[in-house]
Structure 1
Amino acid sequence: MDNFDKRIKQIAKDENWEIPNEIDNNISKLLKNIEEPKTVRKRPLKVAILVASLSILTITTAFAIENIIEYFNYNKNSEYISSKEELETFGSVVSLTSKDKGIEFKLDNISVDDNYINIFYTIKGEKSIDEYYKDHSTGEKHKEAKYANPFINLEVDKIKLKNLVMQEYEAVYTSENELKGMQRINVSKYNIKNNFNLKIYTNEIFMQKGEWTVSTNIDKSKAITETRKYNVNKNIEIKNKEYSVTEEKEFDVTHYLNIDKVIISPFGNEIVVKEKVDADFTKLDAIAPIHLDSKFALVDENNNYLEIVGKGSIGHDSTTNGVTNSFEFKLKDKD
């Protein structure tokens, strides 16, 4: 069969056929599994083998298209901050279902990087949406689709992620009893491994109490290749005055800040800041720990102000008066 293989390649050379290496290798593999014919008619045999090889490559390519997000086919006016192409490139199809109280929750797709977990799902009820939300006293009908999204809880490797912020969310009704939704959840303050188990669950859908849970293994290593992560760990002190409505007076307060990390990733850019305050802070109003967002700006090395487009992942520890905030910002230049 080796001689036959050489003859086929010589035919290609004589007639100036250019055969890519991948197809060339496939020809050799195919020829090993067939008997050597007594005669070789150049063109028909060569064309047949090339067609067979091209067919194999076409099938392989088709299977390589893993992640098609149906949601965008239904919501043509989506304003989601991440593009459909990015979400499909760094995501995967899940297709896991949980059903309770006559309502089915199906996790369709998921896209993850170091800053965000983007989930896409379909919710289908046995009754119409109008029936689930119907107020018999007023005749009011269903909620706007966006606000019919359930509150999602997450566990990573069996550890619950606390103080999650659904920073961006959308939904669209696709029939009288079905909704397709999406949520972008900020996880930048957590250090999540590249490969992990993710559990997604909720206890209320369409105002119905129940238990819906799906669990899947996630590999975010593809997104990590496009991510730049900087562990800054820089401490800063800021002294200023805070006014307490309760005490009706001002207090001198020192804010102890730690610039924890900066993450530039496919689904957004985040700076994570930890903050503690001195003892006098305990006399202030509860809202004071989250005032940082109104008292700073981000500037690059060329003195360009960077737009802060969102804040999330708020976590307050009442015992230390500490808080962890993350701030999403836009870059003037990716480099």
Structure 2
Amino acid sequence: MHREDLEKMFSRIEPDDALKNRIIDRMEDNSMKKSTKRSLKGIMSVAACVAVIGISTAFAAGSVISYFQSDKAIDITSMEALAEYNEEVGVTVSNFGYTLTLDNIATDDNFMHVFYTLKKDDSSMTENDYYNLWFLCRINGKLANFGNNNTENAYSTEDGSYKGVIKLNVADMEVPDTFTLEMYSEPAILKEESNFEGDYLYNDDTVLTDADKEKLLYISTIAKKTSVETKSVVKNVNKKFPFTYYDEVYDEDGNASPVERQGEGEISKVVFSPFGSQLVVKDRCQGNAGMKISGSAIFDENGQSLDVLNTDMSGGRVDVESINKIEILKADANTKALKIVPVMGSMTYNEEKTATQQIGTYPMTFKTSAYGSVVVTNIRFSDGAFEIDYYKDGFSLWDPNFHTMDKDGNIVEPGGKLGCLLTTTVHHDTNSYTAKYAYDGEYDQNGNKVPFDMSTISKENLEKTFTHLGIGYYDFELDYDNAIDINLK
């Protein structure tokens, strides 16, 4: 398998004690995303109960999801599906100088969305408050944050609060029609002195006591999936497949060497639901089966290439079961078959085939391999940022490798790759994407952040400097002889 490319595109598997840091990193990486302002309504039945200090409760069916009443919000799932399958909860709790309101919940067999508002009682919330006061979620007592392809995003509001959403991937969990959601954080962590020993709060077997809850910013809600459950289709395919992966062995001096190994993975089920489509992949090879599938081309029964979304991967120790969820676009409950075709050997960047085009006239089509293209439909500039709208035609692995250039073909990125934050928003309703490059500073040789001179990243200067676009072209072959066929009828 193309190990180097996989390592570049996905976070590698960490030991269990690194899970907390991985969640925090993911929150930080997602903190700049944006989407269009929306108003959403819904029909999910919810009852709530709370066991903490300073509580007020209010219910209102068919309410707007307030998170989306801002241009700072991001597209996280099909907006039409969220509009249909949600209801306002309106549960509020205050403790440790913070007030947490659980605004809305939207759940199906793939994802649970938890919308909330967080306020600081005596002052405005800061970015550090948000990053440090991170939340764990349990569904019927089982932790739901860990594993792959979970998302969290929040943004500051004019009144000094934070509006947030936690998107939990529950495709590998058994979530019944009626379930209990617990959401909590430990403010004591802000002072670097936890009230709990070891990994107590992160243990799947932990049952929080009333005394535990008093030490947390804690909320509990009983929810029901109702009609959304009837819209989900779960295919238990239990399809096993052999694959080759690479591991590392260490000599007496601690030097690592790659070793080729043979493993077995299993696609346990395929889940189609209003909030997405996913393959659940299991193995006892440190999560490498999930990497194998996520780095492959996936076609439906009509030969249409389905987009495989770029996400993190998770895994455990050797001989411990790892579960990864691979999300795909362009498939739904009517899909009758899947053909998963791995990449043969490694991918090679071909500079000679990497074409560039002058921006301004759309659409712009770029071949990214022998199997597919990326079509750019618009580019928008603003002070300190620009955004590229695009979709994939055919098989295009992961996110495009965009090159922003001047008229002479020179790459023109203020501060280089490390000078900007690139975030990619997936528009599930249109099977398209927006890549946003936001420039807020570069780093000196000591690692200190140095803000840009605003004149260099103004809308006018970016438009003047950035006149051409290129996308990386890669040479590789698809290995149809080792394709995995899945019948979904």
TM norm structure 1: 0.65
Cα distance, 1:191 vs structure 2? 1.5
1:194 and 2:177 equivalent?
yes
Aligned mates of 1:64, 1:211 — CA distance in 2: 27
Cα distance, 1:160 vs structure 2? 3.2
Residue matched to 1:331: 330
Cα distance, 1:152 vs structure 2? 2.4
Q: How has the CA–CA distance of structure 1 residues 241 and 262 changed in structure 2, closer, same or farther, with 3 Å as cutoff?
A: same
Residue matched to 1:9: none
Amino acid at match of 1:167: N
Amino acid at match of 1:212: L
Moved more, 238-247 or 228-237: 238-247
Matched-pair contact (CA < 8 Å) for 2:116–2:164: yes
Cα distance, 1:250 vs structure 2? 3.8
Q: How has the CA–CA distance of structure 1 residues 310 and 117 changed in structure 2, closer, same or farther, with 3 Å as cutoff?
A: farther
Aligned mates of 1:322, 1:120 — CA distance in 2: 31
Q: The residue matched to 1:191 in structure 2 has which SS?
A: coil
Matched-pair contact (CA < 8 Å) for 1:151–1:204: no
Aligned mates of 2:179, 2:310 — CA distance in 1: 27
Equivalent of residue 158 in structure 2, options 158, 175, 190: 175
1:114 and 2:97 equivalent?
no
Aligned mates of 1:193, 1:260 — CA distance in 2: 19
Matched-pair contact (CA < 8 Å) for 1:203–1:211: yes
Aligned mates of 1:258, 1:120 — CA distance in 2: 33
1:124 and 2:119 equivalent?
yes
Aligned mates of 2:188, 2:157 — CA distance in 1: 16
Q: Deviations over 1:11-44 (max 9, x none)?
A: xxxxxxxxxxxxxxxxxxxxxxxxxxxxxxxxxx
Bigger Rg, which one? 1
Aligned mates of 2:320, 2:189 — CA distance in 1: 36
Matched-pair contact (CA < 8 Å) for 1:120–1:182: yes
Aligned mates of 1:127, 1:255 — CA distance in 2: 55
Residue matched to 1:216: 221
Residue matched to 2:314: 314
Matched-pair contact (CA < 8 Å) for 1:228–1:263: yes
Equivalent of residue 269 in structure 2, options 244, 253, 261: 261
Aligned mates of 2:62, 2:154 — CA distance in 1: 23
Q: The residue matched to 1:79 in structure 2 has which SS?
A: coil
Q: Deviations over 1:111-143 (max 9, x none)?
A: 0011111011111112323xx65xxxxxxxx45
Counterparts in 2 of 1:44-193, with a 5 A limit? 66-73=62-69, 75-129=70-124, 133=126, 142=127, 148=131, 150-161=133-144, 163-165=146-148, 167-193=150-176
Matched-pair contact (CA < 8 Å) for 2:270–2:279: yes
Greater percentage in helix: 1
Q: Deviations over 1:287-321 (max 9, x none)?
A: 867643564332212222211114467352x3624
Number of residue-to-residue matches in the alignment: 251
Aligned mates of 2:165, 2:136 — CA distance in 1: 14
Cα distance, 1:150 vs structure 2? 4.3
1:249 and 2:254 equivalent?
no
Q: How has the CA–CA distance of structure 1 residues 189 and 303 changed in structure 2, closer, same or farther, with 3 Å as cutoff?
A: same
Q: The residue matched to 1:151 in structure 2 has which SS?
A: coil
1:238 and 2:243 equivalent?
yes
Residue matched to 1:137: none
Cα distance, 1:326 vs structure 2? 0.5
Amino acid at match of 2:278: E
Cα distance, 1:259 vs structure 2? 0.6
Matched-pair contact (CA < 8 Å) for 2:108–2:228: yes
Aligned mates of 1:313, 1:217 — CA distance in 2: 30
**Structure 1: gaps (5+ residues):** 1-62, 134-141, 278-285
Q: Deviations over 1:168-224 (max 9, x none)?
A: 333232234311111211111112111111111122499478611111111113111
With a CA cutoff of 8 Å and minimum separation of 6, indicate the structure with the bigger relative contact order: 2
Q: Deviations over 1:82-101 (max 9, x none)?
A: 24442232112211122211
Aligned mates of 1:290, 1:247 — CA distance in 2: 27
Equivalent of residue 229 in structure 1, options 234, 240, 258: 234
Matched-pair contact (CA < 8 Å) for 1:226–1:265: yes
Moved more, 250-259 or 197-206: 197-206
Percentage identity across aligned positions? 25
Aligned mates of 2:167, 2:89 — CA distance in 1: 16
Q: How has the CA–CA distance of structure 1 residues 243 and 300 changed in structure 2, closer, same or farther, with 3 Å as cutoff?
A: farther
Matched-pair contact (CA < 8 Å) for 2:155–2:163: yes
Q: The residue matched to 2:90 in structure 1 has which SS?
A: strand
Q: The residue matched to 1:309 in structure 2 has which SS?
A: coil
**Structure 2: gaps (5+ residues):** 1-58, 195-214, 335-489
Aligned mates of 1:166, 1:128 — CA distance in 2: 33
Matched-pair contact (CA < 8 Å) for 2:184–2:219: yes
**CA-atom RMSD, angstroms?**
3.2
Matched-pair contact (CA < 8 Å) for 2:290–2:313: no
Q: How has the CA–CA distance of structure 1 residues 224 and 205 changed in structure 2, closer, same or farther, with 3 Å as cutoff?
A: farther
Cα distance, 1:332 vs structure 2? 5.2
Amino acid at match of 2:169: N
